[in-house]
Chains A and B, each alone.
Chain A
Amino acid sequence: MARELLLSRRGFLVGCSLAASPLLTPVTFAAAPGQNRLVVIVLRGALDGLDLVRPVGDPAYGALRPSLLKGEGGIALDSAGFFQLHPGAAALMPLWQAGELGFVHAVATPYRSRSHFVGQDVLENGSASDQGTLTPGGDGWLNRALVPLGARQDLAVTVGQEPMLILEGDVPVAHWSPIDDSSLSAQGEALLARLYAEDPLLASAYPGATDLRHDGGAGADVQPVELGAYVAERLRGEARIAAFSYGGWDTHQNQSKVLAKRLGELSETILALKQGLGPDWATTLVVAITEFGRTARENGTVGTDHGTGGAMIFAGGAAKGGRVLGDWPGLGDSALLEDRDLMPTRDVRAYAAWALRSQFGLGVSDLEGVVFPGLDLGADPGLVL
């Protein structure tokens, strides 16, 4: 499997500039029974939900963000005009109109401090801790979902250099990365293999490393469209779950420009997924989640600082979109968390859990006990048709 994947990957990888975009990191896949598909995108750096889906109908909003709202206006999402979409994501409007794109507002993980690093770990680990303590295994929630989901264990593959926590865990995940061909003889390889087999820290990484050295192509510069097309190609094959991360959302300054660029790239990726999936887009759900939101008020450098409540994006032919879900807590002074952040009104893990349940029929006890320990699944938000 790994080998076939590698060969097919060569088709689209371009260049070999290692100064390439560090924003796109590993892609992970797993196969599962049935035709339904799930793509989880981890937006690293804390996406500003209040700028992505602008609550312009909230009387407090305008005063909180005078500079950020000076630029190009948003795109009305509903006839009441309460929410507007950031213009950087304009390319997604046809999906919205077709009911294939929706948002969830005012969500957060249970973590209540504002460290990126802990926040991302919690987001990928699925912990219920407000302190950022990880579950005992310290593994990823998507990995824990693979077993009850009946995933074929040999089909999970990560693409990229670094491990990605969301799919790390007991279910083995193979890696792929572009690296030069190996030139050791079979004898040299055998000598190394024997040494590694005895090393408790390194033994598990070695077989994958050997495959990579034998199969690697060249080049690591993956562009959004190519990434989307590649993920789609795998999902049209045996893979049913894909996860990858996309960084660069930490907009402490110059937010208008930075966010527009990132949203444009994210939109391209999602549209490339749709195009690449063709008829299989109909059974696909994409969710994009981030470690936390950003401050309700803009900061002094035309940006925003680390906050709490944020937004989740969901899309796909399977999605019941055209809606902004979630209980809107308001932005008035008394409504803000600690007088600074959008108050989260629901656990983002509940939406992730419902995504797994809707697409793959995962049981409540598995979701509340294994995948997201301590989660109250709550009412079905109806992410899918």
Chain B
Amino acid sequence: MEASLLEQIRFGYGPRTGTEPAAGGVDPSRVLAQLDAADPASIMTDRPSLDQRLAMVAEAQREAKQFKAGQIAELTVLPRLKQATRDDATAWILTPVASEAGFRERLVNFWANRLTVGLRRLGSLPYLSGGYPDDVARPYLNGRFSDMLRASAWHPAMLLYLDQAKSVGPDSRIGRKKDSGLNENYARELLELHTMGSGYSQADVTETARLLTGMSVGPAGSTFEPARAEPGRKTILGQTYGEGPEEIDRFLNDIALRPETAQSVSLALARSFLADQPSEATVARMAAAYLESGSELRSVYAAMLADPAATSNELVKIRSPQEFVAATLRAVDWPVEGLDGKVRLPGKVNQALAAMGQPPFRPRGPDGWPDTAAGWVSAPMLAARIDWAETVAQAVSRATKDRAEPVPLARSALGDLGNPDTIRAAGQAEQRWEGIAVLLGSPDFMRR
């Protein structure tokens, strides 16, 4: 089931040269059907699962002790963890390059960004967060937001990233004995960034922090430690909660189903896919679908896809650096088969992404990557994109012995959605590779 050119550009990672897109514009049911197809998840199939990562972290810690004590001469597990982190970054680019369900891959990245876990050089976090999008976003993006929120809240990477694992109820058993207490970092970002965005008070943040105490990370992953949990009732937004994981889950469910959350999530989706300033009416329809369905995301996507901005031929959004890089590789039909183990890319993709403003897994803060043109358009970041376009064009030229023809590539990448001058310019360059660089570095190619 091929997507149309417009569907691939606006709701995916752009067309892959060599495949024929479906005719027509945007057909919402065809876009949604991408979510029903089998999901190969990642083309790098040997990346470790969360449980495997946790086991490796525990083993690496044991090894580190033995190494210090002089019992072993070499660390064997840490290098494997580091390799897994490098593979995570590669998979972040190559999975959307390989996937024909571009909408699903865009959603994986949207949701992982909405519920951001950054990579900090602290303890085991760097080694647990690379699989986070596959653990938290991918399984639930066609289900309920309430379930995804719960998965994120209980993911060890989230509990570590926003300090929740360290928070202790002041009147809990541990809190009374030890000099420790609340940390409201996660509680605040949960309300501000992950769910409501507005409509709560400082008192709600503090009460949420009290309620969430006990959520922790042990050697086997997330746990609930009653000894850290603040006893007693907590009142958040007028609702009263007790203690224990069931009460936390009940709260997460309640907060996911708040109208403020419906609005905030819908606005973020529409802003990401449709326009930097999406139509209020559409956002309201999406929020209504969200609330009526109890946060069933498919109904929210359907409301989004019904917006005129979804079907318009005008490309008003700027691709993120990850989307841009993946789109360049799809446009030149970069080979992705059989890439397990050794992956070859045209250039130093992580450094290029950093220069474009999006170093893999390192957003500036828990609010994640920007989702509007303002965050991605500056002279240095644009310079880095055009440099990448040159790098890819030169690599394609080398790989094809300068046989890749820029004009057919430009037609395949842009069709009739781009400025006709772009296709013409690709043909007017002095050399073939330069024509490809002009295409991939053109303003049309930055848009979706």
User: Hey, which chain A residues are within 8 Å of B359, CB to CB?
Assistant: 18, 22
Contact of A198 among B355, B381, B421 (CB under 8 A): B421
Known: A194-B425, A195-B422, A301-B166. A114 touches B367 (CB 8 A): no
Which residues on the A side are within 8 Å of B184 (C-beta)? 299, 305-306
Report if B429 contacts A (CB, 8 A): yes
Q: In chain B between 174 and 224, which residues have their CB closer than 8 angstroms to a CB of chain A?
A: 175, 179-185, 188, 192, 202
Contact A115 B182 (CB under 8 A): no
Does A191 have its Cβ within 8 Å of any Cβ on chain B? yes
Bitwise interface map of A from 191 to 203 toward B, beta carbon under 8 Å scored 1, else 0: 1101110110110
Shortest Cβ distance from A242 into chain B, in angstroms? 18
Cα A216 to Cα B355 in complex, Å, equals: 12
**Alpha-carbon gap, A198 to B379, bound state (A):** 16
The minimal Cβ–Cβ distance linking B89 to chain A, given in whole angstroms, is 12
Once the chains are docked, how many angstroms separate the CA of A187 from the CA of B365?
41
Q: A116-B365, A161-B355 are in contact. Are A212 and B379 (CB under 8 A)?
A: yes
Cβ of A205 and Cβ of B354 under 8 Å apart?
Answer: no
Q: Is A67 an interface residue (CB 8 A)?
A: yes
By a CB distance below 8 angstroms, the chain A residues around B447 are 201
Enumerate chain B residues within 8 angstroms of A175, measured Cβ to Cβ. 378-380
Q: List 9 A-B pairs, minimum CB-CB distance, nearest first.
A: A300-B181, A208-B379, A177-B380, A199-B443, A209-B383, A209-B382, A175-B379, A212-B383, A188-B434
Interface of chain B residues 349 through 386 with chain A (CB within 8 A): 350-351, 354-355, 357, 359, 362, 364-365, 367, 373-374, 377-384, 386
User: A22 and B364 in contact (CB under 8 A), knowing A66-B179, A179-B384?
Assistant: yes
Please determine whether A195 and B443 come into contact, CB atoms closer than 8 angstroms: yes
Q: How far is the CA of A47 from the CA of B430 in the complex (A)?
A: 54
A195 to B421 alpha-carbon distance, docked (Å): 7
Q: Mark A36-72, 1 if CB is under 8 A from B, else 0.
A: 0000000000000000000000000000001100000
Enumerate chain A residues within 8 angstroms of B179, measured Cβ to Cβ: 66-67
With beta carbons under 8 angstroms apart, the residue of A22, A182, A253, A299 that contacts B390 is: A182
Q: How many chain-B residues does the 8 Å CB contact rule pick out?
A: 58
CA distance A194 to B117 in the complex (A): 40
Query: Which residues of chain A are near B442, meaning CB under 8 Å?
Result: 192, 195-196
In the complex, A46→B330 CA distance in Å?
42
Residue A152 interfacial (CB < 8 Å): no
Q: Is the CB of B434 within 8 A of A18?
A: no
A160 within 8 A of B: yes
- Given A201-B373, A300-B170; A338-B202 close (CB under 8 Å): yes
Q: Answer whether residue A92 sits at the interface, using C-beta atoms and an 8 A cutoff.
A: no
Tell me whether B383 and A191 are in contact (CB under 8 A).
no
Q: How far apart are B224's CB and chain A's nearest CB, in angstroms?
A: 17
In the assembled complex, A82 has its CB within 8 A of some CB on chain B: no
Q: List 9 A-B contacts (CB under 8 A).
A: A18-B355, A179-B387, A192-B438, A205-B377, A205-B382, A206-B379, A213-B387, A216-B383, A299-B184
Is B245 part of the contact surface with A, judged by Cβ < 8 Å?
A: no
Inter-subunit contact B434/A162 (CB<8 Å) = no
Find the A residue at minimum CB distance from B394.
A183
8 A Cβ contacts from A152-186 to B: 160-163, 174-177, 179-180, 182-185
Q: Is A211 an interface residue (CB 8 A)?
A: yes
* Total chain A interface residues with beta-carbon distance under 8 A: 55
Task: Check: A303 CB closer than 8 A to any chain B CB.
Answer: yes
Inter-chain contacts of A180 with B (CB < 8 A) = 387
Q: Which residues of A contact B383 (CB under 8 A)?
A: 177, 179, 208-210, 212-213, 216
Q: Are B380 and A188 in contact (CB under 8 A)?
A: no
Contacts A161-B381, A208-B379 given; does A177 touch B355 at CB 8 Å: yes
Contact between chains at B185 and A187 (CB < 8 Å): no
Q: Are B183 and A209 in contact (CB under 8 A)?
A: no
B428 within 8 A of A: yes
A117 interface residue per 8 A CB criterion: yes
Let me know if B168 is at the binding interface, CB within 8 A: yes
Roughly how many angstroms separate A162 CA and B442 CA in the complex, as a whole number? 21
8 A Cβ contacts from B389-407 to A: 390, 394
Secondary structure at the B interface, as helix, strand, loop or mixed, is helix
* A202 near B350: Cβ-Cβ < 8 Å: no
What is the chain B residue whose CB lies nearest that of A138?
A: B374
Residue in chain A with minimal CB distance to B426 = A191
| Complexed CA–CA distance, A202 and B185 (Å) | 37
Contact A191 B428 (CB under 8 A): yes
A191 touches B373 (CB 8 A): no
- Determine if B419 is an interface residue (Cβ-Cβ < 8 Å): yes
Does B152 sit at the interface, judged by CB under 8 A? no
Question: B192 touching A115 by the CB < 8 A rule?
Answer: yes
* Residues of the B chain whose Cβ atoms lie less than 8 Å from the Cβ of A67: 179
Known: A187-B430, A208-B379, A301-B183. A22 touches B163 (CB 8 A): no
> Given A117-B367, A212-B379, A299-B181, is A192 in contact with B351 using a C-beta cutoff of 8 Å?
no
Among A114, A208, A213, residue most surrounded by chain B Cβ atoms (within 10 Å):
A213
Chain B positions 416-438 with a Cβ under 8 Å from a chain A Cβ: 419, 421-422, 425, 428-431, 434, 437-438
Least CB distance from A212 to B in Å reads 4
List, in ascending order, chain A residues with CB within 8 A of B425's CB. 191-192, 194-195
A202, B182: Cβ atoms closer than 8 Å = no
Complex alpha-carbon distance, A338 and B184, angstroms: 16
Bound CA span A66–B355, Å: 43
Q: Say whether A195 contacts B444, CB under 8 Å.
A: yes
Decide if B318 touches A201 in the complex (CB within 8 Å).
yes
B residues less than 8 Å from A305 (CB atoms): 183-185, 188
B350 to chain A, nearest CB (A): 7
Residue numbers in B under 8 Å from A206 (CB-CB): 379, 382
Known: A192-B441, A299-B184. 9 other contacts (CB 8 A): A18-B359, A161-B384, A183-B390, A184-B390, A188-B429, A191-B438, A209-B379, A210-B383, A301-B180
Contacts of B437 in A (CB 8 A): 184, 188
- Once the chains bind, are B350 and A18 in contact (CB under 8 Å)? yes
Residues of A within 8 A of B350 (CB): 18
B257 on the A face (CB < 8 A)? no
CB distance from B174 to the nearest CB of A (A): 10
Q: What's the Cα separation between A174 and B442 when bound, in Å?
A: 21
B371 CB to nearest chain A CB (Å): 13
- Bound complex: CA A187 to CA B185 (Å): 53
A201 to chain B, nearest CB (A): 5
Beta-carbon nearest neighbor of B180 in chain A = A300
Contact between B378 and A18, CB atoms less than 8 A apart: no
Q: Are A185 and B434 in contact (CB under 8 A)?
A: yes
Q: How far is the CB of A130 from chain B (nearest CB, A)?
A: 13
A252 on the B face (CB < 8 A): yes
A179 to chain B minimum Cβ distance, whole angstroms, is 5
Nearest-neighbor residue (CB-CB) of B370 within chain A:
A162
* Chain B residues within an 8 Å CB radius of A338: 202
